[in-house]
Structure 1
Amino acid sequence: MGLEEKAAIILNTTFVRPAKFFLNGFSNIPNVKYFYFFLCFIYIMTVVGNVFLLSVIYLDKTLHTPKYMIVFNLAFIDLCGSTALIPKVLDTFLFDRREIVYEACLSYMFFVWFFAGLQSWTLVTMAYDRFIAICFPLRYHSIVTKPVIAAVLLFEWVLSLAVIGFMAGLIDRLSFCASLVIQSIYCDHGPVYRLACNDTFLNYIMACVLLFIVICIPLVLIALTYVCIGIALSRIASAVERLKALKTCTSHLILVAIFFLPLLGTNLAVLTYIHPNARIVNSTLTHTIPALLNPIIYSLKTEELLTSIRRLCKNIRLRNRHFQKN
């Protein structure tokens, strides 16, 4: 038996699980720390914006509706998703702690993609809400109820948990006997499984499945709902009424564009070639910018929420005056 055959047998029978990975981050970029300070600013503003939105919805009883259950869920996911990614990135590169334990790397990967998947499907739920509101306005309150929305959101959490858990679990079957340097600033799925020295075909298939479940299927469903909404609006005689109905969708359409376009662009670029630095920037901003902008867009573009904010501010001022008098 030749040396090559012996080496092949050893490679096939020996399972190598590394103790740690090394996060390489950006390569050959001067003053890269400014990017991490920018991420720090994004995270602070994301926390402030989403906590504010969660507080307004929680405190104002008039917002305790199925529609704002979805908005509350999205704000909570945005907050958790940013917290899963940014603090660890800052700790890794601002304090030069680039080694990450194997189990921690898989957990890191799981939570980043888990909340990304949830964000994607929550946008689908928002599209469903707008579809029923515009296409079946008289039946809206009988179809879109709190129990129905709670069941839909629970299903999305379970689906995301199962799919992303399976994706991370498939990494655990790989053997890493060569490089342990991850060409990213976090434990991204693609850069990790490509380091393996045994068969990664199942991981590649899972990456494609993830692309369909997190991006393609939600986008198709959202597009179909807006086709139906467009048909319903075309049947409304009054242009004023059409514009009024369309305005209720603008916030959601902006959120969809902000979330899906960069994510879709990055994943399509990977099918050919994308520079590691460009992938890192696109992937990081895709996971962070929507969480920053979502509460701002909803606060500024939704009349109900603006009214609630004014009402809460007025109540706070009245209470302050009452305390000052006493």
Structure 2
Amino acid sequence: MEPGNETQPSEFLLLGFSEDPALQPLICGLFLSMYLVTVAGNLLIVLAILSDTHLHTPMYFFLSNLSLVDVCFTSTTIPKMLVNIQMQSKAISYTGCITQMYFLLLFGGLDDLLLTVMAYDRFVAICHPLLYMVIMSPQLCVQLVLLSWVISALNSFLQSLMVLRLSFCAHLEIPHFFCELDQVVHTACSDTFLNDILIYFASVLLGAGPLAGILYSYSKIISSIRAISSAQGKYKAFSTCVSHLTVVSLFYGTVLGVYLSSAVTQNTHSTATASLMYTVVTPMMNPFIYSLRNKDIKRALKRFFRRKSGDVSVNPSL
């Protein structure tokens, strides 16, 4: 077939991880299990926070938002991949690909920005404890979350709009398990200079910017903790940051690992496998990190399950 320009192709082909038919059931079972664990774990965190008035604080308000975003983030990729495996198909429609890319950018950016907001929350709690409830008012918390939504939505809208202007050739294979922005852009046969500039600008703004904010917050936090005289006080202050710091390290470590490795090697299947870390594994691990290291979450989950088991014993028909 002669490659020809096509403003709106009918579909793209997602090559995924392996073309071996024998591995498809294993891949399907593995990803289905990971998806169910991710959804269940994050929704349990949200339910525990909503059901316990002791957790109606800024820190847990941001955590509940992060958990909901993680559920949405994973839901943009895994269900489609599972459907394709079951139908023995690699196709995703042009509209479906652009839509998936939009929501991936939206929820990925939200993950990034919410982690930055949570770092600011920990900075205020440790560096300005007496003013914490004044500074982190309910109005400011809602405004910070809304601002994160607006910034991420604008970026995903602009990136998707710029992709819509591209013309695509006949070769529409994407060596990934989802419509990753850079991969989609570079399947185009028209000039992608403006797209590349926008991707680079967004990477600096939504990648390096929030990371710099997180590092600055933790530099101030470490300075404040070092100034605490008692060892018990230092431990108590630092323990409130451990879960967040672990999630930040996991998220940024995997994202940087993916994009640094893709810059060094042209092995697209390796890049797809590495992308699995921040799109699936990190959202799955977040509930475990926060619940295993957080006594308040543990107590809230115990009360939640105790309440539910009590309801069932009183109403056995439920």
* 8 A Cα contact 2:166 2:190, kept in partner: yes
Q: Is the 8 A contact 1:25 1:183 kept in 2?
A: yes
Aligned-pair distance for 1:110?
0.9
Matched residue, 2:95: 103
Which residue of structure 2 lines up, in the alignment, with residue 120 of structure 1? 112
What letter matches 2:233 in structure 1?
E
Please, which of 35, 49, 59 is the counterpart of residue 57 of structure 1? 49
Residues 262, 268 of structure 2: 8 Å contact kept? no
2:7 aligned partner: 16
Q: Which residue of 2 aligns with 1:260?
A: 252
Change (3 A) 1:93 1:210: farther
Residue 134 (structure 1) aligns with? 126
Quick one: distance in 2 between partners of 1:278 and 1:247? 36
Deviation per CA, 1:99-153: give whole Å up to 9, x if none: 2221111001111121111011111111011100000000001001111010000
SS in 1 for 2:77: helix
Give the Å deviation of 1:32. 3.5
Partner Cα distance (1:66, 1:106) in 2: 34
- Find out whether 1:269 has 2:249 as its counterpart: no
Provide the residue aligned with 1:6 in structure 2: none
Read off the aligned partner of 1:123 and give its amino acid letter.
L
1:313 is displaced (CA, Å) by 3.7
- Structure 2 counterpart of 1:79, one-letter code: V
Write the letter of the residue equivalent to 2:101.
Answer: M
Aligned pair in 2 of structure 1 residues 197, 314: CA closer, same or farther (>3 Å)?
closer
CA drift of 1:197 comes to: 1.2
In the superposition, the TM-score normalised over structure 2's length comes to: 0.92
Aligned to 1:72: 64
- Does residue 203 of structure 1 match 2:184? no
Aligned residue in 2 for 1:83: 75
CA distance in 2, matches of 1:22, 1:310: 45
Q: What pairs with 1:1-326 in structure 2 (closer than 5 Å)? A: 16-26=7-17, 31-33=22-24, 34-316=26-308, 318-319=310-311
Query: Contact 1:178–1:196 (CA<8 Å) still a contact in 2?
Result: no
Q: Distance in 2 between matches of 1:27 and 1:116?
A: 25
Taking the aligned partners of 2:128 and 2:72, their CA distance within structure 1 comes to: 34
User: Structure 1: any 5+ residue segments left out of the alignment?
Assistant: 1-10
Q: Give the Å deviation of 1:62.
A: 2.0
Asked whether the equivalents of residues 17 and 273 of structure 2 are also in contact (C-alpha less than 8 Å), the reply is no
| Structure 1 stretches of at least 4 aligned residues deviating more than 4 Å after TM superposition | 27-31, 316-324
Query: What residue is the counterpart of 1:8 in the other structure?
Result: none
* Cα distance in 1 between the residues matched to 2:83 and 2:291: 31
User: Measured at CA, do residues 178 and 317 of structure 1 come closer, stay the same or move farther in structure 2, by a change above 3 Å?
Assistant: closer
Q: What 5-or-longer segments of structure 2 have no aligned partner? A: none
Q: What's the % identity of the aligned pairs?
A: 32
Measure, in 1, the Cα distance between the counterparts of 2:304 and 2:227.
38
Report the Cα offset of residue 310 of structure 1.
Answer: 2.8
Q: Say if 1:25 and 1:185, in contact at 8 Å, map to a contact too.
A: yes
CA distance in 1, matches of 2:81, 2:19: 18
Judging changes above 3 Å, is the alpha-carbon distance between structure 1 residues 319 and 176 closer, same or farther for their aligned structure 2 residues? closer
SS at match of 1:170: helix
Looking at CA atoms only, which structure, 1 or 2, has the larger radius of gyration? 1
Aligned length: 312
Q: 1:197 to 1:232 in 2, by over 3 A?
A: same
Asked whether the 8 Å contact 1:215–1:264 carries over to 2, the reply is no
Is the CA contact 2:116–2:210 (under 8 Å) kept in the aligned structure 1?
A: yes
Instruction: State how far apart, in whole Å, the 2-side matches of 1:321 and 1:91 are.
Output: 38
Q: Distance in 1 between matches of 2:57 and 2:154?
A: 28
Within 2, Cα distance between the matches of 1:305 and 1:223? Answer: 26
One-letter identity of the residue aligned with 2:7? V
Question: How large is the RMSD of aligned CA atoms in angstroms?
Answer: 1.9
CA contact (8 A) 2:105 2:155 kept: no
Could you tell me the TM-score, scaled by structure 1's length?
Answer: 0.90
